[in-house]
Amino acid sequence: MSSRYRRPLAWAVALGLTWLVGYPLLLTLLEALGAPLDLTVDNFAAFAERGDEWQALWRSLWISAASVALAALVGVPLAFVFARLEFPGRRLLGGLIALPVALPPLVGVIAFLFLFGESGFLSRGVQAALGLETPPWRLQGAGAILLVHAYSMYVYFYLFVRAGLARLDGAMEEAAAILGAGRARTLFRVTLPLLLPALVGAALLTFMTSLASFSAPYIFGGGFRVMTTQIVASKLNGEIAMAQVETVTLALLAFAGLWAMRRVDPGRRVVVGGVRGAAPRRRVLKRPGARLAAAGLGWGLTFVMLLPHLTLLLISSVPPDTWTVETLPPVLDGGNYAVLAASPERLRPVLNSLWMAAVATAGAVALGLMAADLSVKLRGRLGTALETLLAVPWAVPGTVFAIALATAFSVRAPLAGRFVLVGTAWILPLAYLVRSLPLTGRSALAGLRQLDPAMAEAAASLGAGGWRTLWQVRLPLLRPALLAGAGLAFITALGDFVTSIVLYTYDTRPISIEILSSLRLQDTGVAAVYGVLLMVLSAAAFLPRSGEEAI
C-alpha cells in the first residue's frame, strides 16, 4: 500500500480495534456506574458489602498464586530433564509432554472427571482395590481446581524454561564451574537467574490464565466460587448490574497483575551481550541404570500426562448403559461415533463450531496482520497504540469479554456504534475473533519483525510494485508465522467454552455447550466423542509446531 494512505488507514484500523476491544469494556464500566441514567458508585458499594464477593475475589487470587507454584514445581524440573539429559525416546516424549496445553480447557476438565471423578477410572480402581463402600474421594473444590490447573499449566513453565535453556550459553555454567562453584551454587547463582525472564514469563502466563480459568471452577467448584464463576452466576440470576461490577473488578485485577509483572520483568534489565556461545550439549547417560531410570521417568511421566487423553478415547468407546459397577468398562465399540455421525441434530454443534471458528480466525488473521503491519511501519504513538489494542484481549479474562460484549451489543444505537448482535449468529464469531486477536496479532508482529526489510527493498529494486511485493515476497515469507497464529486462534475458538456459555443461542450452540448438555443427560459417551473430536483437531494444529521446537 502506498505510504500516503498509511496514516489514515492506521487511524481507521485503530478506531475499529477500539470499537471491538476497548469500547465494550468501557460501556461495561459505565453501566456498572449506573449510566446512562445516573453516575453513582452504588453498585460498587453493594459489591463491597457482600461477603461472598470478597470471598470469590480472595479465592481467585490465591488459587492463581497456588497454580503458579504448582505448575512451576512440575514444569521446571521437566524442562531440565528434557533439555539436559539424553535418553531413548527423548525427542518424541519432549513433544508429547507439551500436549496438555493444546487440550481445550473444558475437554481437559471432563477428561479429569472421567479419570479422577467419583465414578472415574482411578477412583473405581482404588475403591475396588481397597474394598470400599463409597468412592475414596470427591473431585471437588479448591483441590480439584488446582489439580486441573497444575496439569494444564505446567506446560507454560516447561516450554518457557526449555526455550530459555536452549538459548542459555553453555559457557556460563562452565565459567561458574571453573571459578569453583559446585552444582547447587551454579544452579542458584547462575542458571536460574539467567532463566529469570523465562520464569517470570511463565509465571505471568500461568497467573493470568488461572485468573481467567472458568471451566475447572465451573465444573468442579460446587459452592467454591471464584470471580469468573461468580460473574456467570450473577448473570444467570439476572443480577446484571452486579455481574458488571464483578466484571470490572476482575478486569482491573487482570490489568493490575499484568502491570505488576511487567514492572518486575527482568528481561529489560538483563541484556545478554551481542555474541553468545551455543547451549551445552545434552548429557548422555552412560550407566545403564541411569539410562533406564531416565527413560522410565520420561515415559512414565508422559503416560501420566497423557492419561486424560487416553481416558477420553476410552470413554468415547463405551456404549450407553453398559458400564455400571465394574472397575473397567465391559464393552467397547464405536457406537457413540456412529450415533454422532448419523444424527444431524448432534452434528450441528460441530458444524457450528467449525464455521464460527473459521470465520473468526480469518477475520483475526486479516485484522491482526493489518494492525501489526501498520504498527511496525509507523512506530511512534499510533504504532504503540495499535500494538496495545492487539494485546489487550490477552490480559482480559474471557468471562469479562463475554459480559462486555453482551453489554455493548444488546442495544440498538447505531450512532453510538451499538447494534443488537446478542441472540444472533454473529455474536459468537465476533467474540472468538476479538479473543483471537492477540494470538494472530502477536505472531504477525513476530514474523514482521524477523522479516528482513532488504527483501521488500530487493523486490522493489527489481521493479515489483507494492501489491506484487506483498503477494510474492512478504506474504510467503510471513506464512509460517501467520499459520502458527491462525492455528492457535482456530483451536482456541473451536474449543471455547467461557465466552460461549454467556453468549450462545440454541441454533448456534458450539461443541463445548453440547458437551455440557450431554453430560447433564448422563450421555457421557457422546460427550467424550465431542471431546475426542476437539482433542484431535487441536493436536493437529499444535503438534507440527511443537515438533520443530523439540529438536
Contact footprint for other proteins (CB under 8 A):
169, 171-172, 174-182, 185, 189-190, 193-194, 196, 266, 270-273, 275-277
DSSP secondary structure, 47-112, as one string: HHH-HHHHHHHHHHHHHHHHHHHHHHHHHHHHHHHHHHEE-TTHHHHHHHTTGGGGS-HHHHHHHH
Q: Which is nearer to other proteins, 268 or 381 (CB)?
A: 268
Q: Is residue 203 within 8 Å of 194, Cβ to Cβ? A: no
Q: Which is nearer to other proteins, 238 or 274 (CB)?
A: 274
Q: Is residue 212 within 8 Å of 251, Cβ to Cβ? A: no
Q: Which is nearer to other proteins, 277 or 476 (CB)?
A: 277
CB of 179 to other proteins, least distance (A): 4
Q: Which three cell numbers stand for residue 410?
A: 444488546
Burial class (CB in 10 A: 0-12, 13-18, 19+), 211: buried
CB of 190 to other proteins, least distance (A): 6
SS percent in the chain: helix, strand, coil, step 5: 75, 0, 25
Q: Which is nearer to other proteins, 37 or 184 (CB)?
A: 184
Q: Kindly report the backbone phi and psi dihedral angles of residue 97, in degrees, each rounded to the nearest multiple of 5, phi listed first.
A: -70, -15
How many whole angstroms separate alpha carbon 332 and alpha carbon 340?
A: 16
The residues, ordered by sequence, that sit 6+ positions from 376 with a Cβ below 8 Å of its Cβ are 383, 445, 448, 449
How many whole angstroms separate alpha carbon 8 and alpha carbon 431?
A: 26
Q: Which is nearer to other proteins, 88 or 466 (CB)?
A: 88
Q: Is residue 88 within 8 Å of 291, Cβ to Cβ? A: yes
The residues, ordered by sequence, that sit 6+ positions from 73 with a Cβ below 8 Å of its Cβ are 150
Helices and strands in the chain: count of H runs, count of E runs? 26, 4
CB of 157 to other proteins, least distance (A): 20
Q: Which is nearer to other proteins, 173 or 387 (CB)?
A: 173
CB of 501 to other proteins, least distance (A): 45
The residues, ordered by sequence, that sit 6+ positions from 271 with a Cβ below 8 Å of its Cβ are none
Q: Which three cell numbers stand for residue 123?
A: 477412583
Q: Which is nearer to other proteins, 266 or 334 (CB)?
A: 266
How many whole angstroms separate alpha carbon 110 and alpha carbon 220?
A: 10
Q: Which is nearer to other proteins, 182 or 414 (CB)?
A: 182
Q: Which is nearer to other proteins, 270 or 293 (CB)?
A: 270
How many whole angstroms separate alpha carbon 245 and alpha carbon 250?
A: 9
Q: Which three cell numbers stand for residue 376?
A: 511496525
Residue whose C-alpha is closest to residue 432's, from 371, 352, 543, 527: 352
The amino acid at residue 463 is G
CB of 207 to other proteins, least distance (A): 23
Q: Which residues are bridge partners to 413 per DSSP?
A: 418
Q: How many residues does the chain have?
A: 551
The residues, ordered by sequence, that sit 6+ positions from 40 with a Cβ below 8 Å of its Cβ are 33, 34
Q: Which three cell numbers stand for residue 170?
A: 553453555
CB of 281 to other proteins, least distance (A): 9
Q: Which is nearer to other proteins, 178 or 454 (CB)?
A: 178
- Given the C-alpha cell 525427542, which residue does it identify? 91
Phi-psi category of residue 320: left, alpha or beta, with phi > 0 → left and psi -120 to 50 → alpha: beta
Q: Which is nearer to other proteins, 170 or 547 (CB)?
A: 170
Q: Which is nearer to other proteins, 4 or 281 (CB)?
A: 281
The amino acid at residue 495 is G
Q: Which is nearer to other proteins, 46 or 177 (CB)?
A: 177
